[in-house]
Amino acid sequence: MNGERGRTVGQLNLFADHIEAGDYLDRRHDEALPDRAPLPRPDIRMMQRPIGPVAVFGASNFPLAFSTAGGDTAAALAAGCPVVVKGHSAHPGTSDLVAQAIDAAIQTCRIHPGVFSQIQGGNRAVGQAVVQHPLIKAVGFTGSLGGGRALFDLCAARPEPIPFFGELGSVNPMFILNGALASRGGEIATGWAGSLTMGAGQFCTNPGIAVVRAGADADAFLQAAKTALEQVGAQTMLTNGIASAYHQGRDRVAATSGVQSVLTTTCDLRNATPYLFTTTAADWLANEELGEEVFGPLGMLVTVADDAEMMAVAKSLQGQLTCTIHMDDSDADAARALLPILERKAGRVLANGFPTGVEVCDTMVHGGPYPASTNFGATSVGTMSIRRFLRPVSYQNIPLSVLPQDLTD
């Protein structure tokens, strides 16, 4: 919670600096050319403008960073849009405390009170009513594929369809190339176990899949991962719903044809313990369900026979938030062949690291092709997230005395 609070406050400060600099406005100016032939050119200026009130759905797994004052709220406010938050039922007290802090800031800064509102409680009909309200112009959501898809469809079915920016999760595969596997497979396996179980695996960037070439090095990697995971005890998950979904996902994977259990533990109620499975590329490619996210500390090793099978696994992936390549210098050719595929599959591609931990900065992309997110051209983290709630407007031959101040400064 301390780390998440620091991240949330840091994000708000970053966005404040960004909008004060004015970069998000993307201001452009084509000066008039009255003597141009065959036709004169008018004076045209352009900048980004807020789209209007935004509905934000708080996330269950990040009570601060992706909820009441989290990424979507910060981005919408930075764009100049009023925000209506639907607080998540998993942490109503935290949501209320944060809302009180926002209200205090509104009063201190003498901002119109309609800039921020929060709704608590109720069933799904409450969230549906918010999405369908005619004044809402966009929706931000972080959560499950099922819940996000339902809200996405509601947005599209409105008399005035509106954009839905949903971050829905992914399996975040890692591709461990031969040189790296041979030279430091044990180190990567230990790091994978730590990333896989961080926060009981309740990160949307949790690396649930590792892809390696079959052989003695892969066997050693699997054993090292198992040994590291065996040291991790039961962790309490954030909600009963998350825990139940994790247990169901574990059972689904264990019952899938071609999947072998490597580490089997026991957990019930709100507890989560790590599980480790292995399968072949052939079985992975034959079972689309293996590519579905299991939200929790569950890992699967996919073994491939050669580089061609590794490429086939990469091409089979659905949209991802992240893809990772573990490589040494000797793997450069293989990595160059893999990168053009992975950059089409994910919003963030990283090398020799683990995707848990999303830096809040100008260059971060937290999004990807569906089903990782519903808008592959957007990000829900970093300063570019502000642009989701802006639209460009051109001003042609508007006198300076009439133009918005942002265009005349």
**Catalytic site positions:** 167, 204
- Cα separation, 387 vs 20, whole angstroms: 15
Cross-strand pairs, 302: 211, 279
Of 249, 244, 248, 250, nearest to 271 by C-alpha is 244
Residue 373's Cβ-side half-sphere holds a number of Cα atoms within 13 Å equal to: 29
3-state helix, strand, coil split of the chain in percent (to 5) is: 45, 20, 35
Which two tokens mark 63?
């009570």
Which two tokens mark 406?
């942002």
Pairing of strands 390-396, 138-142: unpaired
Cross-strand pairs, 30: 44
Q: Phi, psi at residue 109, to the nearest 5°?
A: -90, 0
Cross-strand pairs, 276: 263, 299
DSSP state string for 317-331 = ---EEEEEEE--GGG
Q: What angle do CA 316, 321, 323 make, to 5 degrees?
A: 60
First to last CA, the chain: 41
- Residue 91: strand, helix, or coil: coil
- Cα separation, 407 vs 409, whole angstroms: 6
Which two tokens mark 399?
């006198």
Q: Is 356 left (phi over 0), alpha (psi -120 to 50) or beta?
A: beta
- Cα separation, 136 vs 132, whole angstroms: 7
Question: 24 and 48 in contact (C-beta within 8 Å)?
Answer: yes
Question: 374 and 166 in contact (C-beta within 8 Å)?
Answer: yes
